[in-house]
């Protein structure tokens, strides 16, 4: 069993509405050992894909994306939720991402300078649930004319629609940990 699965079973907390809290090792306090193992798995899966850039969204995606980019020896880019005063409208791509957990829609942006048609992108995120964050990142990659090599997810809630949406787009998705159910406040993994 992976370190990530062990830590989810030991330290994860299940809240109502299928919220899995992993604040003790991934979303608030971060254990570099867990992050390193996740990055090594993404590297193993995607190492022959000619990746030129690892792409994520702030804030919780930054840790696994940075560790992954280090192994690929490529830059990491994160989409920003704030609008920098030093980046004019015509210099950026933007998209809207809805969070079902927080029930808010956020405008996120990247600078056109850091994602181009020459890039082959590995998208990384901490959670995959309804897929909104990944679809937003895909939209930004497509606006830039770059190609997507695949998506690496730390924790996938396989009982929600995100995975299916990404599969329907024909994108290679690899999740380190797939959760079949959080019913009765109990974590049930899919066998993957």
By CB under 8 A, tell whether 70 contacts its own copies.
yes
3-state secondary structure of 39: helix
For residue 53, the SS3 value is strand
Task: Please say which residue, 106 or 160, places its beta carbon nearer to its own copies.
Answer: 106
Give the residue ranges of the annotated binding site: 20, 27, 129-133, 157
Identify the residue among 4, 35, 134, 166 touching its own copies (CB under 8 A): 35
- Nearest-angstrom CA–CA distance, 1 and 12: 16
Q: Which stretch binds its own copies (CB under 8 A): 15-23, 43-51, 146-154, 159-167?
A: 15-23
- Which residue's CB is nearer to its own copies, number 129 or number 173? 129
Footprint (CB under 8 A) of its own copies, residues 100-119: 101-102, 110-111, 113-114
Is residue 94 packed enough to be buried (19+ CB in 10 Å), middle (13-18) or exposed (0-12)? middle
Q: List 147's β-bridge partners, or say none.
A: 120
Give phi and psi for 109, each to the nearest 5: -135, 155
Strand-pair category, 53-57 with 120-128: parallel
75 binds its own copies (CB under 8 A): yes
Residues at the contact surface with its own copies, assessed by CB under 8 A: 13, 15, 19, 21, 23-25, 28-32, 35-36, 58-59, 62-63, 66-67, 69-70, 73, 75-78, 80, 82, 84-87, 101-102, 110-111, 113-114
């Amino acid at each position: 069993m992976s370190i990530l699965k062990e830590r989810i079973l030991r330290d994860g907390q299940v809240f109502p509405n299928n919220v899995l809290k992993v604040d003790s090792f991934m979303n608030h306090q971060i254990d570099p050992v867990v992050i390193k193992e996740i990055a090594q798995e993404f590297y193993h899966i995607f190492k022959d894909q000619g990746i030129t850039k690892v792409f994520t969204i702030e804030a919780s995606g930054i840790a696994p994306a940075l560790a992954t980019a280090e192994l690929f020896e490529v830059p990491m880019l994160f989409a920003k939720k704030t609008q920098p005063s030093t980046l004019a409208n015509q210099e950026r791509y933007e998209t809207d991402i809805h969070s079902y957990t927080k029930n808010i829609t956020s405008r996120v942006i990247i600078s056109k300078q850091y994602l181009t048609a020459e890039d082959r992108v590995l998208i990384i995120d901490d959670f995959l649930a309804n897929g909104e964050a990944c679809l937003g990142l895909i939209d930004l990659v497509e606006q830039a004319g770059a190609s997507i090599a695949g998506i690496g997810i730390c924790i996938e809630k396989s009982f929600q629609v995100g995975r299916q949406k990404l599969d329907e787009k024909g994108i290679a998705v690899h999740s380190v940990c797939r959760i079949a159910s959080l019913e009765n406040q109990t974590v049930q993994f899919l066998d993957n």
